[in-house]
Structure 1
């Protein structure tokens, strides 16, 4: 910008002003053109404040004025007054083609620019073509002394912006735009605040740190496509209702984690190999599938649960466990088998050599098979059960709260909790809403119920009766820990299927944290513009899945 100074309120001939700016150090005709644009806005703003019906004191067409702003970086030092004097050190980048006299009295910088904005809006209503200068007459370049930034609505943007120019200060830059803007900034003068803001956007777009070197991604700020790969090529950000955004994300997440035909075939082949080996070892024994693989509620990393059942129920001793373990190794199905013979339910564990899938084999226990059939019935009769159960199971798995052996929630218990939630939900139970169309809201309410409101010390869950029960009224629900989860087994009322969930406090805390996180994210995204929403994930805030 030119260093040429003018006295306050001095009337300047356009040609003289342009020559003064172009002839000063660093000045050029472009500066003169820009100065003319801003002064035009100020002209009509002040004209609106003159008493109606009174003729102007001077002819309008051939008079000029200059509005000046102090270049001080401090906001309080940027005040523009009508009586000023020594504070006017720089000329704004435009000369007004019409004379304007500002209203008498002191005016802060914000008031001046408010008047300019009003004049700009009024002029926009009567705008017509007028060459390059007219096309850019609404652009007012503010010095950074008042901490303001350029605010231009869509109607005020230049129709023919220069190639590579970034007009929207709030727009996210592409790497190509950032590189171009970086080159443009090298030879331009601007305030410190504006320069810092632009540099911050450039470094973010180019993935640089504050020193201009490539920024290493922190573990707590991963790429959204790495932790939420199901959002790739999705347009959730266009949803006017954030609840619908979350609903759509849940459906896409379920599709993402659901098995492909190849995965299903590979898992079936594992079961077939084990079945053949068991048949050769014991002719009267059969292998049955239970657990999440049997109910189609398994996540990609889930194991396969098998049980060996015979007509006589005779394969229950330790000898049988080791016989099957050796047979599996000799058949090259696996290289190593872990025999857990002293557990309450003895099992053998191994990793399938072909697929790398973990397999657990138990003996002569019907409970798991019956439970699998029960869950299959629930899934057929309860809309939304599969989707919500898969999200909750994934949430717990990412926090290692899904292993019953370490006090976590097993798959059967999770399914019962989701089913109970849907059974007693007043709007779902009454048919007022369809769970399949409201997954986002229901997920948040699930976390609110079991993370904030559920009375674990007093209340138990009975999915068979679609109700709750008082724990003191059922001896089988008793636990030496008062703060415990009690879920009646729908196939055996004497069994509390969540008896081993002794890590309940951490589970409750995790559910409560998920509720807080999701509601906070929903409120935040609801206030964002579509541009800032783009590329974000609601479900990814609680489900961090890294794509290999």
Structure 2
């Protein structure tokens, strides 16, 4: 067996950069890159240069319009819109002047090359900061998949909120609660969504709901004047940034959107929408049930379900496919997919593998299942009991014009289709499929070098 690879020379399976002796290229960065602004990162990092532009990894050739099939299924079969993270080619040099170069040009050429090499080295370092802090112990990884498993844990550690940031968010929520309670004494402010379940990524928003018996309950909607009064209250109290306040009164769920002065957190405030609070309680329960914790394996055990959710959210978020209003998968849908995946995984059911020690492998298999094999046309997902699938025809959720839509039964309301609004699910499926192709190819190439 070859000797273990030293950390200074071990390439990481997820990087899109060419293997480099130092720092080790990352496997995770094949599909997940640190493209967050420094102020949005949970862990403070030095300011980094602008990330490379994302470019499609597949051929740019397209057939003539007359030959193209415009149906969604044909678009999926073409598999041409997986968004990779390959660096864009450098801009072409301007046409060279025919005049002779001066002596100074030659004198400084070597200095410029050395500076360029240092800049490239710093950029490689910053593109996978989780490999340095909290760090990946490459010496203890004896296979490519083991490297991926360890790096996946490091990535989750890196994007998870620090205690200081979580405390700042809770302090911000308390300020909003006190401000609203002063004007509406019978009101309470509850937190739900990603902050309520501790599943938020750097820069994630805060979802709040104002619960008051004196205000309209669904199906009645709060009036525009009520929403504007709340917006004015947040502005005059100094909580919201003046130019950030937006009142959306005609949406299915009317909200007040704003950004806080302290912490610059984006906040969505709704009125008497209790469904999100109940869902957060259910999500916390499911995340703990499928945490598969193992004491002593990792310094901070985030749980398998939570870690997988963060990996998938980061993967889709960097491609703009994690928002329902754009047709992508919302956080609740992603959570349900991950829980169903863990419920029905045959090797987890039979205790053949330890989920905590195979986080990277589970992420690859998640991409494969929902990117290549899941029967979106016929099957829907239920989490009741030990989980399972149902026939979309039998439940009345089959849409003849859109048979490819994903259907997930709401754990709190069996009549509600959680993912019914994800109309761009074909693009999500393409992206998951492409991510599996890139990551599995990287693993095979890495294993051949060990």
Give the TM-score of the pair, scaled to structure 1.
Answer: 0.56
Residue 210 of structure 1 deviates from its aligned partner by 11
Q: Distance in 1 between matches of 2:417 and 2:273?
A: 17
1:277 is the counterpart of 2:158? no
Q: In the alignment, which residue of structure 1 is the partner of 2:325?
A: 405
Give the Cα–Cα distance (whole angstroms) in 1 for the partners of residues 420 and 322 of structure 2.
14
1:464 is aligned to 384
Shift of 1:283: 1.2
* Aligned with 1:239 (options 141, 152, 158): 141
Report the Cα offset of residue 223 of structure 1.
Answer: 3.4
Q: 1:521 to 1:288 in 2, by over 3 A?
A: same
Runs of 5+ in structure 2 lacking a partner? 1-18, 24-107, 292-303
- Once residues 243 and 442 of structure 1 are traced to their aligned partners in structure 2, the CA distance between those partners, rounded to angstroms, is 10
| CA-to-aligned-CA distance 1:226-273 (integer Å, 9 cap, x gap) | 222100153326521211111111111111111111101110111011
C-alpha deviation, 1:212, in angstroms: 7.7
**8 Å Cα contact 1:308/1:363 also seen in 2:** yes
The correspondence of residues 105-254 of structure 1 with structure 2, limited to 5 A, is: 213=113, 223-232=123-132, 233-236=135-138, 239-254=141-156
Of 499, 503, 507 in structure 1, the residue corresponding to residue 424 of structure 2 is 503
Structure 1 position 311, deviation (Å): 2.6
Q: Indicate conservation of the 8 Å contact 2:136/2:150, yes or no.
A: no
- State the 1:348 CA deviation: 0.7
Distance change (3 Å), C-alpha of 1:476 and 1:367 = farther
Aligned match for 2:314, one of 380, 394, 416: 394
Distance (Å, rounded) in 2 between the aligned partners of 1:280 and 1:171: 59
Matching of residue 297 in structure 1 with residue 297 in structure 2: no
Residues 1:445 and 2:365 are matched in the alignment: yes
Q: How far 1:520 sits from its partner (Å)? A: 0.8
Deviations 1:457-500 (A, max 9, x none): 11111112400111111124647411101000011111101111
CA contact (8 A) 1:290 1:306 kept: yes
Q: Where has structure 1 moved over 3 Å in runs of 4 or more?
A: 170-174, 208-217, 219-224, 476-480
Query: Out of 352, 371, 390, which is 2:279 matched to?
Result: 371
Aligned residues: 327
- Cα drift, residue 171 of structure 1: 10
Q: CA deviation at 1:222?
A: 8.7
Which residue does 1:525 correspond to in 2? 446
Looking at structure 2, the residues matched to 172 and 332 of structure 1 have their Cα atoms a distance apart, in angstroms, of 51
Distance 2:339 2:125 in 1: 31
Superposed CA deviations along residues 184-219 of structure 1, whole A, max 9, x for unmatched, are xxxxxxxxxxxxxxxxxxxxxxxx9999835868x9
Q: Determine whether 1:380 maps to 2:301.
A: no
CA separation in 1, counterparts of 2:334 and 2:380? 14
Cα distance in 1 between the residues matched to 2:257 and 2:398: 31
The corresponding residue for 2:252 is 344
Query: Aligned equivalents of 1:417 and 1:254: distance in 2?
Result: 18
Q: Distance in 2 between matches of 1:375 and 1:321?
A: 29
Match of 2:449, SS state, is: coil
Q: Is 1:359 matched up with 2:259?
A: no
Aligned equivalents of 2:120, 2:400: Cα separation in 1: 39
Displacement of 1:519 = 0.7
The 8 Å contact of residues 136 and 151 in structure 2, kept in 1 or not, is answered as no
Deviation at 1:380, TM superposition (A): 1.2
**Residue 477 to residue 270, structure 1, CA distance change in 2 (3 Å):** farther
1:460/1:477 contact within 8 Å kept: no
Are the counterparts in 1 of residues 190 and 277 from structure 2 also a CA contact under 8 Å?
yes
Q: 1:499 to 1:230 in 2, by over 3 A?
A: same
SS at match of 1:339: strand
Report Cα offsets for 1:406-459 as digits up to 9, x if no partner.
Answer: 111100000000110111111112222221121121111100000111111111
SS state at 1:500 partner: coil
Is the CA contact 2:137–2:150 (under 8 Å) kept in the aligned structure 1?
no
Write the deviation string for residues 104-129 of structure 1: whole angstroms up to 9, x where unpaired. Answer: xxxxxxxxxxxxxxxxxxxxxxxxxx
Question: TM-score w.r.t. structure 2 length?
Answer: 0.68
- TM-align CA RMSD: 2.7
Give 3-state SS (helix, strand or coil) of 2:180's partner.
helix
* SS of corresponding position for 2:393: helix
Which has the higher Rg, Structure 1 or Structure 2?
A: 1
Alpha carbons of structure 1 residues 456 and 221: separation in structure 2 relative to 1, 3 Å: farther
2:79 corresponds to: none
Offset, 1:528: 2.0
Secondary structure, counterpart of 1:516 in structure 2? helix
The question of whether the paired residues in 2 share the 8 Å contact of 1:489 and 1:495 is answered with: yes
Q: Which sections of structure 1, spanning at least 5 residues, go unmatched?
A: 1-169, 175-207, 530-548
Identify the residue that residue 91 of structure 1 maps to in structure 2.
none
SS in 2 for 1:354: coil
